Amino acid sequence: MGEPEVDDVGFDPKAELLEQWNGHRNLTLRVARAFPPDKLCTYAPVGPLRTFGAMLDEIARIEQAYMRGLAEDRWSYDPQDPPAPADAAAAVAFVEEAHAYTRSVWDRLPADMLLAPRKDPFFFGDAKRPYDWLVYCVENEIHHRGQGYIYLRELGVEPPPFYVR
Amino acid sequence: MGEPEVDDVGFDPKAELLEQWNGHRNLTLRVARAFPPDKLCTYAPVGPLRTFGAMLDEIARIEQAYMRGLAEDRWSYDPQDPPAPADAAAAVAFVEEAHAYTRSVWDRLPADMLLAPRKDPFFFGDAKRPYDWLVYCVENEIHHRGQGYIYLRELGVEPPPFYVR
C-alpha cells in the first residue's frame, strides 16, 4: 500500500510544536499555582532533589536562552545569573514571561531555520536541529512537571488532571 | 521573509514519532531497571500514588491498546484485564513487549491514517488524530518516568541521565 508524501497530510511541525508547548505551559502553570506558596521554593523530599520552584527556573531559563538566541542571535545561558527567583510569585512570573516571549517572536522564526541541522550552542545530547532543542525543552518540562505532581501529593494537595491542557 | 512549504523541509512526522518513542522507551527501561527489584511494584511514597510498576503497566497497556487497534482494527482497553504484572521482571517485560509490537507493525501503518482526524476510541481529551493519541502516550510516559526519578531518589538510587536516549 502506498504511503502519501509528507506534504499531502499537511503537517506543520512549527505550528504543532508551539501549540503543544502552549498546552504544556498552561498545565505547568496550573501545577505551580497548586503548590502552597510557601512550599514551592522550599519543599523537596530528599537530597539532592530540587524544589519545584528550582525546576521552574530551569524550564524558563533554558526556554529563554534558546528563544533569545533563535530570535535575536543573542546566545547566552547561565544557570546562576541572574539568580533563581526566591519566592513563588516570582518563580511563576518567570515561567510566564519566558513563554510570553516565545509566543511574541514565534511568527518571525523561519520554519526552515528551525529544521536545519545545527550544533546545539549550550548542551550536548542528540538534539540536532533548533526544532529538536525546543522539543527537548518541552520534554524536560513534562519530566519535571511530573515530579511536581509527586511533590503535590506528598504535600497533601491533589494535582490538576494531566490530560487537560 | 517567506516561509518554505512544509514539504521543503522534509519533515516526516511518522518516522520522527517512532524515533522519539524508541528513545524514550530506552530511557524508561533504564529507569525501571534501576529500581531495586523488590521495590518496583511495592514502593510508593504516599497514597494515592501508585508504584512505578503500576505506571509501567499503564504505559504498556495504553500503547498496546492503541497499536493493536491501529494495526489490526482490534479495539479494546481494560485497565484491569489482564491484571497488572505483580513483579519487576514481568512489569519490565510487558513494557518491552508492548513496544516491540509497535515497532513490528509501524511500517504498515499508513502515514495519512495517522494524521487523519478521528474520534479517540478510549479516552477523552484533545487528541484529534491517531498521531496525537500516540504523542499523548509518549508524553504520559515522560510524565510518569519523571515520577520514577523521584521514587529512585527517595530509595537512595541515582537515576540515569535524562538526556541520554
Per-residue pLDDT band at A7 (split at 50, 70, 90): very low
pLDDT digits (tens, 9 = 90+) for B71-94: 999 999 999 999 999 999 999 999
A41 CA: distance to closest CA in chain B (Å):
17
pLDDT of residue B9: 61
Alpha carbons A150 and B144: distance in angstroms, whole number: 10
Alpha carbons B145 and B28: distance in angstroms, whole number: 6
Q: What's the complex ipTM?
A: 0.94
pLDDT of A124 > 80? The answer is no
* Helix B52-72 with B130-154: angle, nearest 10 deg: 160
Classify B107 as helix, strand or coil: helix
- Looking at the domain that runs over B30-154, which CATH code has it been given? 1.20.120.450
- Selection from A106, A107, A162, A108 nearest residue A134 by Cα: A106
Q: Does A163 sit within 8 Å of B136, measured CB to CB?
A: yes
Per-residue pLDDT band at A123 (split at 50, 70, 90): confident
What end-to-end distance do the CA atoms of chain B give, in Å?
36
pLDDT of B98 > 60? The answer is yes
Greater pLDDT, B161 or A4: B161
Residue that has been written with the C-alpha cell 478521528 in this structure: B118
Of A6, A45, A151, nearest to B11 by CB-CB distance is A6
Domain residue limits, chain B: 30-154
Alpha carbons B117 and B132: distance in angstroms, whole number: 9
A123 contacts on B by Cβ (under 8 Å): 163
Best residue in A59, A108, A134, A150 for a mutation probing chain B (most B CBs within 10 Å): A150
Calculate the CA A69 to chain-centre distance: 15
Of A49, A125, A146, nearest to B147 by CB-CB distance is A146
Mean pLDDT within B148-160? 98
Of A1, A23, A111, nearest to B4 by CB-CB distance is A111
- CB–CB contacts below 8 A, A to B: 119
pLDDT of B100 > 70? The answer is yes
- Selection from A65, A150, A45, A133 nearest residue B49 by Cα: A150
Q: Does A13 sit within 8 Å of B11, measured CB to CB?
A: yes
pLDDT digits (tens, 9 = 90+) for B31-40: 999 999 999 9
pLDDT of residue A4: 42
Q: Does B6 sit within 8 Å of A12, measured CB to CB?
A: yes
Q: Does A45 sit within 8 Å of B150, measured CB to CB?
A: yes
* Helix A13-34 with A88-105: angle, nearest 10 deg: 170
A44 contacts on B by Cβ (under 8 Å): none
pLDDT of B1 > 70? The answer is no
pLDDT of residue A9: 61
Query: Rounded to two decimals, what is the model's pTM?
Result: 0.94
pLDDT of B4 > 70? The answer is no
pLDDT of residue B7: 47
B124 CA: distance to closest CA in chain A (Å):
8
Residue that has been written with the C-alpha cell 510524565 in this structure: B143
- Looking at the domain that runs over A17-154, which CATH code has it been given? 1.20.120.450
B156 CA: distance to closest CA in chain A (Å):
9
A139 contacts on B by Cβ (under 8 Å): 142
B88 CB burial (10 A radius; 0-12, 13-18, 19+) = buried
Of A5, A115, A154, nearest to B46 by CB-CB distance is A154
pLDDT of A6 > 50? The answer is no
* Helix B130-154 with B13-34: angle, nearest 10 deg: 20
Average pLDDT in chain A: 93
Alpha carbons A45 and A96: distance in angstroms, whole number: 26
B83 CA: distance to closest CA in chain A (Å):
24
B143 CB burial (10 A radius; 0-12, 13-18, 19+) = buried
Per-residue pLDDT band at A43 (split at 50, 70, 90): very high
Residue that has been written with the C-alpha cell 548542551 in this structure: A123
Per-residue pLDDT band at A58 (split at 50, 70, 90): very high
